[in-house]
Amino acid sequence: MTLKSSRWLTAAAFAVASMPLWAADAPAANVNPEVERGRYLATAGDCVACHTAPGGQSMAGGLALASPLGSIYSTNITPSKTHGIGNYSLQQFSDALRHGKRADGANLYPAMPYTAYAKTSDEDIAAMYAFFMQGVAAVDTAPAHQTALPFPFNIRLSMSAWNAMFHDAKPYQADASKPPQWNRGAYLSEGLAHCTTCHTPRTALMAEDRKRGLSGGDLGGWYAPNITSHATSGIGNWSQADLVAYLSGQPVPGKGPAAGPMAEAVDHSLKHLTREDLEAIAVYIKSVPAVESADMKQAADSFGQARDDLDSIRGTELPRDFDAMTGAQIYDGYCASCHQAQGQGSDKDGLPALFHNTSLGHASSNNLVQVMLHGIQRVDADTVMPGFAHELTDKQITTLGNYLLTSYGNPAAKVTQDQVARLRSPEPEGGGKLLLLARLGMALGVIVVVAIAIWLLRRRARR
Ligand code: HEC
Ligand code: HEC
Ligand code: HEC
């Protein structure tokens, strides 16, 4: 099937699918295929996740993205002529997505993932423009907060240097040696669905390290695992059906459910994509060249087994000092009611087993600690994983984490009390994806410092 005809199917399928996120505020429109196609593409790009403040109106901006330099706030991208992008021409809209440039020519901070969106075709950018102009309700108010980074980080021009060095603004070029389905998957994964933004490791200056594409990204508080086709370091032993199910938010035996930033990506964006597009993404992802991670010699979902530890501790007295509880005692008190006495969970109740589970098999324990502290927030889930930040101390989480890793997971991974203390502080609004921004912010800082150093040197040279 050609890309063009598949797009028509996509638009048609989307028009039928329900999208409560938009339905609430989209003006009742006579369905315009261009606008509907743009709506679908904007969902694939997950624009709403960043451009909507908690409890705020869709696309009206104001979400705070934490950076070490201060908060960066998303802006109002409704078609309001006074406070949004209502006066943007198609060219200006395209420049924002492809070059990270605002209508007034100023550089956007890379909190806006234009490095990935740049891959989007002109045709698809035009459809999104039609959607933003005609399918989104205008909100004539400014977000409650605007970005005001301290000098010198407020010099947006410093981003030009970074863009010149690292940003490739060329739209996706199809690889003629590959089938259309593969190209469609690559187009979405590297472009609007921006898998690379989170899953590709970064260089010291925060550019994506393309040679190790999708081999795992550190988002600060979360770890986006290696999803290359490597059998033990990556997801080489996931079937295509596993991957499609995971991306559509369905439970996959042995693979932990998407948590944190991945849960957001699934709930707001990926699970609303057509089956056809998810299959295409899976085909492409499964073809990504294997990259080995030195610390992952065994597949993440192959560790551990059922345990009988609780028999031996039940009936014994708990220590007065809760911090002195053993891992098995904490597990019995807080986890076993759902994940069961032997860690075996209960498939039919949507309770995952804790052994042979990717969430305990990675070399990084960050995601496990995050899940124990903050739980998993899912839109419309029947059973949820609660967070235990209020019930358990740093010491208890540390003891429990290490107990789980040695009994059920990757025994080489460790949890430390410092790590728990760091991850405990409430996540900034915008969650993990903005922790990535924190790192981008640092790169920006480096560039600004270098620019100032050069300027000072020049001045001295001139004297
Ligand atoms: C990861 C968060 C994130 C996502 C996802 C995101 N944006 Fe943004 N966007 C931002 C932030 C933050 C800004 C403001 C950046 C700044 O002030 O430098 C911004 C700015 C913009 C602007 C410039 C508006 C102006 O005049 O200030 C446009 C246009 C825009 N985004 C469109 C989009 C579209 C379309 C999508 C989806 C395809 C999208 N954004 C997805 C974070 C995001
Ligand atoms: C905003 C950042 C972000 C984006 C965008 C993102 N991911 Fe993820 N992804 C993560 C994080 C963080 C995890 C770990 C979640 C967990 O532990 O439950 C993850 C987990 C996964 C896993 C499970 C891996 C494992 O070993 O358990 C797969 C598969 C995956 N992502 C595929 C994708 C694909 C495909 C895309 C693009 C279509 C994508 N992700 C986009 C952050 C992201
Ligand atoms: C009220 C029931 C309940 C309790 C109590 C509970 N869990 Fe869970 N847990 C769940 C459910 C449900 C899921 C799957 C969530 C999903 O699919 O979104 C889950 C998922 C998990 C995951 C997988 C996360 C991932 O990223 O894949 C881990 C790890 C976990 N729980 C650990 C624990 C620990 C440790 C405790 C005790 C401190 C605990 N759970 C207590 C219900 C519970």
For the stretch 304-315, pLDDT in tens is 888 888 888 888
As a whole number of angstroms, the distance between CA 330 and CA 325 comes to 6
**CA of 216 relative to ligand 2 center, distance in Å:** 9
Q: Does pLDDT of 18 surpass 60?
A: no
pLDDT digits (tens, 9 = 90+) for 412-462: 999 999 999 989 875 544 444 444 555 565 566 666 666 666 666 666 666
What is the pLDDT averaged over residues 225-250? Answer: 95
Matching fold, domains 178-295 and 303-427:
yes
| Any ligand 2 atom below 6 A from CB of 360 | no
Residue 67's pLDDT is: 65
User: Which residue's alpha carbon is at the smallest distance from atom 2 of ligand 3?
Assistant: 338
| Any ligand 2 atom below 6 A from CB of 363 | no
| DSSP 8-state symbol, 82 | T
| Any ligand 3 atom below 6 A from CB of 207 | no
Ligand 2 pocket, mutate which of 194, 248, 252, 262 (most atoms under 8 A from CB): 262
Confidence of residue 2 (pLDDT cuts 50, 70, 90): very low
Domain 303-427 is of which CATH architecture?
Orthogonal Bundle (1.10)
Q: Which residue has the tokens 């490597």?
A: 230
Confidence of residue 61 (pLDDT cuts 50, 70, 90): very high
pLDDT digits (tens, 9 = 90+) for 71-121: 889 999 999 999 999 999 999 999 999 999 999 999 998 888 999 999 999
**CA of 113 relative to ligand 1 center, distance in Å:** 8
Ligand 1 pocket, mutate which of 50, 128, 268 (most atoms under 8 A from CB): 50
Residue 420's pLDDT is: 95
Q: Does pLDDT of 140 surpass 90?
A: yes
Q: Contact 165/207 with Cβ under 8 angstroms? A: yes
Domain ranges within the chain, ordered by starting residue: 1-18+31-161, 178-295, 303-427
Q: Does 149 or 139 have the greater pLDDT score? A: 139
Q: Which of 285, 179, 201, 269 minimizes the C-alpha distance to 235?
A: 285
As a whole number of angstroms, the distance between CA 36 and CA 196 comes to 26
Task: Tell me the pLDDT of the chain averaged across its residues.
Answer: 85
pLDDT digits (tens, 9 = 90+) for 358-383: 889 999 999 999 999 999 987 777 77
Q: Does pLDDT of 270 surpass 90?
A: yes
What ligand is nearest to the CA atom of residue 244? Answer: 2
Residue 373's pLDDT is: 95
CA angle, 49 as apex, 287 and 62 as ends, to 5°? 145
What is the pLDDT averaged over residues 121-138? Answer: 98
Tokens representing residue 205 in the block: 């200056």
Residue 68's pLDDT is: 60
Q: Which range in 141-155, 209-223, 267-281, 348-362 is most confidently predicted, on average pLDDT?
A: 267-281
What ligand is nearest to the CA atom of residue 75? Answer: 1
**CA of 386 relative to ligand 3 center, distance in Å:** 7
Cα→Cα distances 197→46, 55, 114, 124, 277, Å:
13, 26, 10, 20, 19
What ligand is nearest to the CA atom of residue 405? Answer: 3
| Any ligand 3 atom below 6 A from CB of 255 | no
What is the pLDDT averaged over residues 319-346? Answer: 93
178-295 in CATH: which number?
Answer: 1.10.760
Q: Contact 126/90 with Cβ under 8 angstroms? A: yes
Residue 202's pLDDT is: 85
pLDDT > 70: percent of the chain: 83
| Any ligand 2 atom below 6 A from CB of 366 | no
Least confident of 108-112, 157-161, 184-188: 157-161
Burial 134-163 (b: 16+ CB within 10 A, else e): bbbbbbebbbeeebebeeebebbebbbbbb
**pTM (2 d.p.):** 0.88
| Any ligand 1 atom below 6 A from CB of 223 | no
In ligand 2, the atom with minimum distance to the C-alpha of 362 is 26
**Alpha-carbon dihedral of residues 114, 117, 120, 124, nearest 10 degrees?**
-100
Helix 275-287 to helix 240-247 angle (10° resolution) is 130
What is the DSSP pairing of strand 72-73 with strand 217-218?
unpaired
Amino acid at 80: S
Rounded to the nearest angstrom, the gap between the alpha carbon of residue 230 and the centroid of all alpha carbons in its chain is 21
Confidence of residue 188 (pLDDT cuts 50, 70, 90): very high
Burial 191-218 (b: 16+ CB within 10 A, else e): bbbbbbbbbbbbeeebbbeeebbbbbbb
The phi, psi pair for 59, rounded to 5°, reads 70, 10
What is the pLDDT averaged over residues 382-406? Answer: 93
Cis peptide bond prior to 411, omega within 30° of 0: no
Q: Contact 423/221 with Cβ under 8 angstroms? A: yes
Q: Does 323 or 165 have the greater pLDDT score? A: 323
Give residue 249's region: left, alpha or beta (phi > 0; psi -120 to 50).
left
Least confident of 15-29, 254-268, 345-359: 15-29
- The SS3 assignment for 389 reads coil
Q: Give the side-chain half-sphere CA count within 13 A for 404.
A: 32
Q: Does pLDDT of 158 surpass 80?
A: no
Query: Would you call 7 exposed, middle or buried from its count of C-beta atoms within 10 A (0-12, 13-18, 19+)?
Result: buried
What is the pLDDT averaged over residues 261-277? Answer: 95
Q: Does pLDDT of 3 surpass 50?
A: no
